Amino acid sequence: MITDTSRKPQHFSLDEVPLDGVVRPKGRDIVIEPGPGGQPRLNRLDYEIYVLQSLGERLRTKAVWIEGATRCCNPDQDLPQDFDDRKEQYFQDIGQPLEADLFVERLKGDLITALDVFDRDLPSNKDVVLKSRSGKTRISLKPPEAQDDLAMLDALKEELTRRWPMTRLLDVLGEVDLRIGLTKSFPTAGARQTLSGDEVSRRLLLALHGIGTTIGLKAVAAGPYNVTYKELLYIRQRFIHKNALRAATRAIADATNRIRATDIRGDGSSSYASDSTQFASWDQNLMTELHQRYGGRGVMIYWHVDAKATCIHSQLKQVSSSEVASMIEGVLHHGTDLEIDRQFVDTHSQSVVGFAFCYLPGFELMPRFKGIARQKLVRALPKPERTHPNPDPLFAPKPINWDLITRHYDAMIKLAAALKQRTAEQEAILRRFIRGQPAKVTRCLRLFWNSAKQPGRSSCANTSVTKVCAARSILA
């Protein structure tokens, strides 16, 4: 079709080119049109558009790959090549047992316990109600009530304003440098350095202040700092780069966590939240895309923050890229000394496969479900063996196929190891599980997810629901 330029028919017969797997059933009315004598035929132009769309989808999910390519390479290259030789080490690194039967039995026991607790507590839980709508039983949650402000919060704000009424951000940045040596995280990209260390630190703080507040280097150079725009631009080009900024972020997060008063703030948070923010960018930027929900063109910054609002990781991403992949990247590779065991996200940062790859490395995904009324439960055992009368209308017809999980247990661990070892981009690994891909591991992960679904508060904060959300991670 592409190489033959001598003959370009406007139509194809139905037996001349393949139709299944290229044109979706809903689009066949557009491609197929009546020909002479009423015989159906394919419109060449419409068919070629569907061919390109189908090729793009398969390249994106790596159902089709290109030899020698980097992004569209063979999907086997995304996985650890020495997995068979170092199998025990990879299982130990993930924190899962080597035997699939042990893993399944533990997961089955956790799920049965969580379902029993949910069944027992559902009648007395005033926040979760089962309502019948249009002949279907759905989950209904009571909206949370607003919490009262802390008694001393207003007095604390007044005292802070009285002691430090006009504290500038630049002064705060300088204090951070004095305490933890922030500017030492920014080595020069050149072979040598002629400026003194104190002068480099001073200019670095000014450049970071201009970039971080978006006022720009020229506005900083126009201030009373005895520095020119070219000098700040030199610092920007030689010292400020991605790895240095991430090292500085890690140093600030670790220092903040160490200095916290445990009698006031506790022993340290292990729960973190993540979300993305849209920023406008030039149309010439190759990462700029139109956001369908928020409107306007731009890029996204995906943040990971702890319960006390300290940012531990951030990453630049395209609007259309997966928030689930960004969430997993931040949790597994934030680089700080903090350990994450629970990650709170919104609806867009969770998925069936995302739950699986959060459970395997050992942290719980805690999303807010926008469509929690449509969630279904899956039985760990057939109904005759284990009954749960209170949430019975919420269960799917079939129980979990534990044998399928057992057979593909090694494949799931291999994929989890690839995410943790960064043998490929997080999104490249998750894309192979896009709906419609006929992969047995995908079916296994989806079963694992559906097995553990359980209603509760929209953030899955209830005890029984938390355990179920953790269990459903692998059954996606």
- Binning pLDDT at 50, 70 and 90, where does residue 448 land? very low
In percent, the amount of the chain with pLDDT more than 70 equals 88
- In this predicted structure, the answer to whether residue 441 has a pLDDT above a threshold of 50 is no
**Mean pLDDT on 216-228:** 93
Q: How confident is the model at residue 424 (pLDDT cuts 50, 70, 90)?
A: confident
pLDDT of residue 135: 80
Given a contact cutoff of 8 angstroms between Cβ atoms, the answer to whether 126 and 145 are in contact is no
pLDDT tier, 460 (very low <50, low <70, confident <90, very high otherwise)? very low
Does residue 5 register a pLDDT over 80?
A: no
- Binned at pLDDT 50, 70 and 90, residue 176 comes out as very high
pLDDT of 117 > 60? The answer is yes
Instruction: Find the range with the poorest average confidence among 106-120, 133-147, 408-422.
Output: 133-147
The residue among 197 and 476 whose pLDDT is bigger is 197
Per-residue confidence (pLDDT) for residue 265, from 0 to 100 = 65
Q: What element of type H or E holds 344?
A: strand 342-345
pLDDT of residue 465: 36
pLDDT tens column, 363-411 = 888 888 888 888 888 888 998 888 889 888 888 888 999 999 999 999 8
What tokens were used for 444?
Answer: 């296994």
pLDDT at 207: 94
- Residue 454 has a pLDDT of 40
Residue with tokens 């063996």: 385
Distance CA 78, CA 66 (A): 14
Break the chain down into helix, strand, coil percent, rounded to 5.
45, 15, 40
Among candidate residues 216, 204, 195, the one with its CA nearest the CA of residue 177? 204
What pLDDT does residue 476 have? 32
For the cut 60, the answer to whether the pLDDT of residue 464 exceeds it is: no
257: confidence class by pLDDT, cuts 50, 70, 90:
confident
pLDDT at residue 436 is higher than 80: no
| Average of per-residue pLDDT values in the chain | 82
Query: What is the rounded distance in angstroms from the CA atom of residue 103 to the CA atom of residue 95?
Result: 11
Q: What angle do CA 349, 354, 356 make, to 5 degrees?
A: 155
pLDDT at 452 over 70: no
Summarised one tens digit per residue, pLDDT across range 51-94 is 998 888 888 888 888 888 887 888 888 889 899 899 999 999 99
Rounded to whole angstroms, how far apart are CA atoms 435 and 442? 9
Q: Alpha carbon 382 to chain centroid distance?
A: 33
> Could you tell me where the DSSP H helices lie in 66-196?
87-94, 100-121, 153-163, 169-180
The per-residue pLDDT for 175 is 92
Strand partners, 132: 137
Q: What is the mean pLDDT of residues 427-456?
A: 53
Q: pLDDT tens digit string along 307-363?
A: 767 888 889 999 888 889 999 999 998 888 888 888 999 888 888 888 888 888 888
Residue 4 confidence (pLDDT): 53
Backbone angle region of 454, left / alpha / beta, with phi > 0 → left and psi within -120 to 50 → alpha: beta
Please name the residues in contact with 215: beta carbons below 8 A apart, sequence gap of 6 or more.
none
Instruction: Please identify which residue in the block is written with the tokens 């080119």.
Output: 17
Rounded to whole angstroms, the Cα distance separating 60 from 306 reads 33
Q: Which of 300, 251, 310, 250 is nearest to 280 (CA)?
A: 300
Contact 80, 342 (CB under 8 A): no
Highest mean predicted confidence (pLDDT) among 32-41, 197-206, 265-274, 319-328? 197-206
Across the range 240-256, mean pLDDT stands at: 91
Judge whether residue 249 has pLDDT over 50. Answer: yes
CA distances from 51 to 3, 302, 431 (A): 14, 34, 20
- Non-local (6+) Cβ contacts of 414 within 8 A are 79, 80, 83, 90
Q: pTM of the full predicted structure?
A: 0.77
Q: Which of 26-35, 422-431, 462-471 has the lowest mean pLDDT?
A: 462-471
Range scoring the smallest mean pLDDT among 106-115, 137-146, 205-214, 439-448: 439-448
Return the pLDDT at 104. 93
* Residue 155: exposure state from Cβ atoms within 10 A (0-12, 13-18, ≥19): exposed
pLDDT at 218 over 90: yes
